[in-house]
């Protein structure tokens, strides 16, 4: 019988960070102290931290060594030229503006391009991206394919743009009201779902016809490139590095959170091919981030990011990365736990409404499930549902997103498959006693990006989140 060979982590552990393991009583106390919000729990109270894959990567020995090369010159740092060269070589854009992280780049792009009354189409919103678009008077318009909002629709490229929706918007508001089309590769809130090369090509062609620039949210673009290699005919034997270069050629620039696919703990950039946009971005970056030769990053951080950019496009690294996420997802699928299908690039998303069908969306099922998971095992996850979605600006009502999810986000090169087993065991055990999990009431609500600081209490009469 042919036995499929297993693949181990393509790295060796050189230095370890010890983990604090709390008992159940201590975890309950931490949860109450943090208002049942996983953002408000201290990291030393967490066993396995799947809150985010942002800035949580483990750096390689070569990245740590690169820190020593950091040139901290205020202007014209050698480290900056190395970073600029890495972005130009791997992503293929002509111009690069460094920023302290992704949202710094989103701020610059939104200020430079969006005017009040404009529309910014995108393949599903992301919190900070949409917030910057709105801050500058723009209106986000969702042009992702309908299936992306259906957690059970099994499609290889569920992040694709619906070309008809885009075309209809252009006809309705006019190309001059669309400063750019924003395409995320992959789509975080859809479950880390990729966009196909064909779709990127088609979007670019349509936009070129109407002289509308295409700007990528490149935050997890290497993961997207891997999915193309895995799923799109003709790319099976093409190195991920080359796939990525072709992907980026179907855009005019990008914003990047280096904290994900550049394998660093801090940093980002705005890149573009347009000379005029570059000149204006060089002027604006000085106001918000710093000189165009450091943009909010230390020289050493730029060195680590330049090195990370090369490491991230290694075929073995990215194959393991995606397959580790899938390893966790498959265990949950096999146990019948409702998760977003197919498993995406950076996270497994639990479908909280199917998991806790006895709760109304206004009882914050995803928030309650994230809290219950922490209580059960000390695994920290993140709500991505009604709390994250905020309120309608006009009516003041809660937005009711179709996707009510708990995100189990896997940091890069940090955890082993044994950690994934522990997470799977905890989720499966919760699923077995799901009817015992209570809903929540929001007792403190901040006015913006409320999910970070909101506080909750269980609705159950005895005040307990999980009933005995
Ligand atoms: O956290 P920043 O500012 O480096 O990046 C913002 C950002 C932009 N786009 C996308 C798709 C993101 O996922 C993103 C940040 N994501 C976080 C923090 C996350 O936990 O998913």
What's the pLDDT at 3?
62
Residue 312 vs residues 12, 44, 244, 399: alpha-carbon distances, Å = 16, 28, 11, 36
Residue 72 Cα to ligand 1 middle (Å): 26
Which residues face 407 on adjacent strands?
A: 349, 382
CA 263/CA 238 separation, integer angstroms: 22
CA dihedral in degrees (318, 319, 320, 324; nearest 10)?
100
Residues 6+ apart with CB under 8 A from 230: 236, 322
> Contact, 368 vs 38, CB < 8 A?
no
Q: Which two tokens stand for residue 121?
A: 């189409």
Does 451 qualify as catalytic in the annotation?
yes
Residue to substitute in 108, 124, 257 for testing ligand 1 pocket (most ligand atoms within 8 angstroms of CB):
257
Give the domains, in start order, of the chain with CATH numbers: 24-53+316-458 (3.90.1150.10), 61-312 (3.40.640.10)
Measured in degrees and rounded to the nearest 5, phi and psi for residue 458 equal -65, 145
Residue nearest to atom 17 of ligand 1 (CA): 54
Rounded to an integer, the average pLDDT of 51-60 is 98
Does 74 qualify as catalytic in the annotation?
yes
> Contact, 224 vs 216, CB < 8 A?
no
Helix 315-334 and helix 417-432, axial crossing angle in degrees, nearest 10: 20
Catalytic residue among 260, 341, 407, 413: 260
CA 148/CA 116 separation, integer angstroms: 29
Residue to substitute in 98, 105, 126, 296 for testing ligand 1 pocket (most ligand atoms within 8 angstroms of CB):
126
> Contact, 52 vs 67, CB < 8 A?
no
Q: Hey, how many other C-beta atoms are within 10 angstroms of the C-beta on 366?
A: 31
Q: Which two tokens stand for residue 263?
A: 């394998």
Catalytic residue among 226, 235, 451, 456: 451
Share of the chain above pLDDT 90, in %: 95
Residues 6+ apart with CB under 8 A from 299: 70, 71, 72, 73, 77, 78, 79, 80
CA 151/CA 136 separation, integer angstroms: 32
Residues 6+ apart with CB under 8 A from 450: 387, 390
Does 241 qualify as catalytic in the annotation?
no
HEC string of 69-133 equals CCCCCCCCCHHHHHHHHHHHHHHCCCEEEEECCHHHHHHHHHHHHCCCCCEEEECCCCHHHHHHH
Kindly tell me if the per-residue pLDDT of 23 is higher than 80. Answer: yes
Alpha helices in 126-220 (DSSP H): 127-135, 163-173, 197-209
> Contact, 75 vs 291, CB < 8 A?
yes
pLDDT per position as a tens digit, 277-326:
999 999 999 999 999 999 999 999 999 999 999 999 999 999 999 999 99
Kindly tell me if the per-residue pLDDT of 250 is higher than 70. Answer: yes
What's the pLDDT at 7?
83
Residue 383 Cα to ligand 1 middle (Å): 14
What's the pLDDT at 237?
97
Kindly tell me if the per-residue pLDDT of 148 is higher than 90. Answer: yes
DSSP 397: P
Which residues face 254 on adjacent strands?
A: 216, 271
Residue 81 Cα to ligand 1 middle (Å): 25
HEC string of 254-270 equals EEEECCCCCCCCCCEEE
Tokens 């005040």 locate to 463
For residues 7-38, one letter each, b for 16 or more C-beta atoms within 10 angstroms of the residue's C-beta and e for the rest, the string is: eeeeeeeeeeeeeeebeeeebbebbeebbbbb
Residue 6 Cα to ligand 1 middle (Å): 32
Residues 6+ apart with CB under 8 A from 13: none
What's the pLDDT at 99?
98
Q: What angle do CA 291, 295, 300 make, to 5 degrees?
A: 110
Does 217 qualify as catalytic in the annotation?
yes
Report helix, strand or coil for 412. Answer: coil
CA 181/CA 251 separation, integer angstroms: 10
Residue 187 Cα to ligand 1 middle (Å): 11
What's the pLDDT at 243?
98
Does 36 qualify as catalytic in the annotation?
no
Q: Mean pLDDT in the chain?
A: 96
> Contact, 275 vs 95, CB < 8 A?
yes
For residues 79-95, one letter each, b for 16 or more C-beta atoms within 10 angstroms of the residue's C-beta and e for the rest, the string is: bbebbbebbeebbbbeb
Which residues face 182 on adjacent strands?
A: 122, 215
What's the pLDDT at 261?
98
Catalytic residue among 27, 113, 259, 384: 384
What's the pLDDT at 2?
56
pLDDT per position as a tens digit, 267-281:
999 999 999 999 999
Kindly tell me if the per-residue pLDDT of 1 is higher than 60. Answer: no
- Tell me which residues have their CB closer than 6 angstroms to ligand 1: 52, 54, 101-103, 126, 128-129, 184, 188, 217, 219, 257, 259, 268
Distance of CA 157 to the CA centre of its chain: 16
Give the pLDDT band (50/70/90) at residue 127: confident
Q: Which two tokens stand for residue 207?
A: 């936009």
Residue to substitute in 56, 128, 380 for testing ligand 1 pocket (most ligand atoms within 8 angstroms of CB):
128
Residue nearest to atom 2 of ligand 1 (CA): 102
CA 376/CA 57 separation, integer angstroms: 25
Residue 54 Cα to ligand 1 middle (Å): 7
């Amino acid at each position: 019988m042919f036995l499929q060979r297993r693949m181990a982590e393509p790295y060796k552990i050189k230095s370890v960070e010890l983990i604090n393991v709390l008992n159940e009583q201590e975890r309950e106390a931490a949860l109450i102290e943090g208002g049942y919000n996983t953002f408000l729990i201290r990291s030393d109270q967490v066993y396995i931290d799947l809150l985010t894959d942002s800035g949580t990567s483990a750096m390689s020995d070569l990245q740590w060594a690169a820190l020593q090369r950091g040139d901290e010159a205020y202007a014209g740092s050698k480290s900056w030229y190395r970073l600029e060269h890495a972005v130009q070589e791997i992503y293929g854009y002509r111009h690069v503006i460094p920023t302290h992280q992704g949202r710094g780049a989103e701020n610059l792009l939104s200020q430079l391009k969006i005017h009040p009354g404009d529309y910014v189409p995108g393949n599903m919103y992301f919190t900070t991206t949409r917030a910057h678009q709105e801050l500058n008077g723009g209106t986000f318009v969702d042009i992702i394919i309908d299936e992306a909002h259906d957690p059970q629709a099994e499609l290889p490229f569920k992040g694709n743009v619906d070309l008809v929706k885009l075309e209809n918007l252009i006809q309705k508001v006019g190309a001059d009201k669309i400063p750019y089309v924003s395409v995320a590769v992959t789509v975080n809130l859809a479950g880390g779902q990729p966009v196909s090369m064909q779709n990127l090509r088609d979007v670019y062609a349509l936009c070129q016809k109407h002289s509308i620039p295409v700007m990528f949210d490149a935050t997890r673009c290497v993961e997207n490139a891997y999915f193309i290699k895995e799923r799109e005919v003709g790319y099976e034997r093409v190195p991920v590095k080359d796939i990525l270069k072709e992907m980026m050629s179907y855009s005019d620039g990008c914003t990047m959170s280096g904290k994900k696919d550049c394998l660093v703990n801090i940093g980002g950039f705005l890149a573009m091919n347009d000379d005029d946009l570059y000149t204006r971005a060089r002027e604006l970056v000085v106001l918000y981030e710093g000189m165009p030769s450091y943009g909010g990053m230390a020289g050493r951080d730029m060195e680590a990011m330049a090195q990370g950019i090369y490491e991230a496009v290694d075929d073995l690294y990215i194959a393991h990365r995606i397959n580790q996420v899938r390893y966790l997802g498959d265990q949950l699928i096999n146990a019948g736990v409702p998760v977003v299908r197919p498993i995406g690039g950076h996270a497994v998303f639990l479908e909280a409404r199917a998991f806790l069908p006895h709760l109304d969306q206004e009882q914050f099922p995803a928030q309650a499930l994230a809290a219950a998971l922490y209580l059960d095992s000390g695994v920290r996850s993140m709500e991505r549902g009604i709390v994250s979605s905020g309120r309608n600006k006009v009516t003041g009502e809660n937005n009711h997103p179709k996707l009510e999810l708990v995100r189990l986000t896997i940091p890069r090169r940090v955890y082993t498959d044994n950690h994934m087993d522990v997470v799977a065991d905890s989720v499966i055990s919760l699923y077995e006693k799901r009817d015992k999990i209570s809903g929540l009431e929001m007792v403190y609500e901040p006015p913006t990006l409320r999910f970070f600081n909101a506080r909750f209490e269980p609705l159950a009469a005895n005040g307990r989140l999980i009933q005995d």
